Amino acid sequence: MKKSKSLLLMIAMVLVIGTALAGCGGNNANKGNNAAATNAAGNEGSTNTGTATGDEKLAADQTLRVNLSAEPPTFDPAQAQDNQAHTVLQTMYEGLTHVNAETGQAEPGIAEKWDVSTDGLVYTFHLRDAQWSNGDPVEAADFVRAWKRVLDPATAPAAPYAYQLYYLKNGEEYNTKKVTDFSQVGVKAVDAKTLEVTLKSPTPYFLGLLSFYTYYPVHKSVEGNAKWAISKDTMIVDGPYTLTEWTTGQSIQVTKNEKYWDAASIKLSKIDFTLVNSGATELLSYKNGELDRAGNPNGEIPSEQLPMVKKELPNEFVSKGIASTYYYEFNITEKPFSNAKIRKALAMAINRQVLIDNVTKGGQLPAFGYVPPGIAGADGEYRTAVKDSYFTEDVEQAKTLLAEGLKEEGLTALPPVELSYNTSENHKKIALAIADMWKNNLGITVNTVNQEWAVFIENRQHQNYQIARAGWVADYNDPMTFMDMWVTGGGNNDTGYANPEYDKLIADAKASSDLAKRQEDFAAAEKMLIQDDMVILPIYYYTNNSLTKEYLKGVTTDFSGAVDFTRAYLLEH
């Protein structure tokens, strides 16, 4: 018996060690491949150095290392719907236009030039001689195919962002099966290099929209292959980089695409994305030299570390306002928040600067309107032309308004109020601070309720709340991306706000291509939304807080805070 027992132990040990060795073996093989790849990249890098101009000397290894705090669920442009996918897709694809981050203007992408009809409805794009990563030419048909996939009700799964293409004539009708013939939809390949697009109504920001991923072209090989976007071997792209590695939950790597039409201005040989969902780890990796850039929008720096980071790394830390607003929304269909005076009282009784200095610590801008700075207006920024002076912080006036509101509602005191937010350290701190301000300034009892993300969204969308946290990021560079949310019955209007006058202003702005007139409409609508009705309670305009190593150049962020790594390069360090 003793003998057999030790034999069993022996076998167990052998098995365990064997498995371990097998694991290590596989790993070493991988490592070998990586090493080979790194060498190849090094060579490419050095050829780049040769072509570099000016005093700046490029580093030999042009591999950019950044982090994504969430893994993009898909690389199919038709299915993508999040910012992280945007960051990566933008390195792999190019649409008809791309937006210059500094000017905010649409510049030629795959389309070399375009003509617009005088009524602003028909766009004719002339495509340049661009190639797919397999050498095929990029043709007008590739765009028609891609847009048809997005709108086609038979596409499985249905494209969740199909409505981004509702600007096209009959786009919505085709998607919702009211029109069954795709030739009725406003996109047509006139010839291999000419694409004609007809819109439903004049859309001044349409050229900018074309740089959005839902409008990217797809290669003909995607037809009949549902799984093309999950493997690097079947992803044929037209952008500056191609997908070369994707390990679930761990890393994504893209490598320079020599077939890209503007490959000469691409200096990076590779971009390595790690997939770490921990701000603390990301910051430590950055400080330890494992990342070249950390923080927003693709990653995160823990807010409690921001003051320290600012002091420690002043040359690397950048805080930049982005077109995004943090606010609370009221459920105005139920008492007591059906009363505008009570809503206004709450909005006035918060000290936003104190909140920003002590709680969020990210240099955010106090918000008194809804459209954030950075969004284009008729001439320059909308927010510069239309000031957000819709209300002021004034505790005394807030008390008066509250008293009046309560009287109108036949109440003597406000019953305890429920403020809900989705699970996050930051939202929690903000909610607690604001609840405290309301308690001190107005004597209101506030219960803060923490809810898991999907539960929270579900509750908010079903108006199962009193006050709920919200945030909105611009989809495109126009006040419309913020303002059309609050029309009666709007898909994202969770407040129950229904104001025919407001609806009319938005409808007018939608139908008009006169920029000055549109701006007036938006200003009037925003005044209604905030100053008159206080449907939402603006808190702050977001900032992107990031750290960039001094040797990393050429990373740009646009008005919405979306980051573009494609033209980045690394200096010798």
Task: State which residue, 53 or 248, has the beta carbon closest to other proteins.
Answer: 248
Q: Quick check: 153 binds other proteins (CB under 8 A)?
A: yes
Instruction: In whole angstroms, give the CA distance from residue 426 to residue 428.
Output: 5
Q: Quick check: 516 binds other proteins (CB under 8 A)?
A: no
Task: State which residue, 184 or 492, has the beta carbon closest to other proteins.
Answer: 492
CB 471 within 8 A of CB 542: yes
Strands (DSSP E) contained in 45-141 are: 63-67, 97-99, 106-108, 111-116, 122-127
Angle of CA points 442, 447, 448, to nearest 5°: 110
Task: State which residue, 191 or 458, has the beta carbon closest to other proteins.
Answer: 458
Determine the distance from the C-alpha atom of residue 455 to the mean position of all C-alpha atoms in its chain, rounded to a whole number.
Answer: 22
Minimum CB separation from other proteins for residue 347, in Å? 22
Compose the 14-43 pattern: x for residues touching other proteins by CB under 8 A, - for all others.
--xx-xx--xx--x--xx--x---------
Q: Quick check: 315 binds other proteins (CB under 8 A)?
A: no
Of 117, 176, 184, 513, which one interacts with other proteins (CB under 8 A)? Answer: 176
Minimum CB separation from other proteins for residue 526, in Å? 20
Q: Quick check: 311 binds other proteins (CB under 8 A)?
A: no
Q: Quick check: 184 binds other proteins (CB under 8 A)?
A: no
Residues 188-247 that bind other proteins (CB under 8 A): 226-227, 229-230, 247
Residues 466-505 that bind other proteins (CB under 8 A): 471, 475, 491-492
The three-state secondary structure class of 71 is coil
Q: Quick check: 573 binds other proteins (CB under 8 A)?
A: no
Phi first, then psi: what are they for 25, rounded to 5°?
Answer: -55, -50
Phi first, then psi: what are they for 450, rounded to 5°?
Answer: -95, 130
Minimum CB separation from other proteins for residue 204, in Å? 22
CA distances from 55 to 52, 108, 169, 266, 316 (A): 9, 29, 51, 18, 21
CA dihedral 42, 47, 53, 59 (to 10 degrees): 10
Of 134, 184, 461, 513, which one interacts with other proteins (CB under 8 A)? Answer: 461
Instruction: In whole angstroms, give the CA distance from residue 194 to residue 439.
Output: 63
Compose the 52-81 pattern: x for residues touching other proteins by CB under 8 A, - for all others.
-------------------x-xx-x--x-x
Q: Where are the alpha helices (DSSP H) in 393-484?
A: 395-409, 425-442, 453-461, 480-483
CB 185 within 8 A of CB 168: yes
Task: State which residue, 285 or 325, has the beta carbon closest to other proteins.
Answer: 285
Task: State which residue, 96 or 229, has the beta carbon closest to other proteins.
Answer: 229
Q: Beta partners for 544?
A: 320
Task: State which residue, 416 or 491, has the beta carbon closest to other proteins.
Answer: 491
Task: State which residue, 284 or 395, has the beta carbon closest to other proteins.
Answer: 284
Strands 417-422 and 467-473: parallel
Number of separate helices (H) and strands (E) present in the chain: 16, 21
The three-state secondary structure class of 500 is helix
Footprint on this chain of other proteins (rule: CB under 8 A) = 1, 4-6, 8, 16-17, 19-20, 23-24, 27, 30-31, 34, 71, 73-74, 76, 79, 81, 153, 156-160, 162-163, 175-176, 226-227, 229-230, 247-251, 274-278, 280-281, 284-285, 287-288, 290, 452-455, 457-459, 461, 471, 475, 491-492
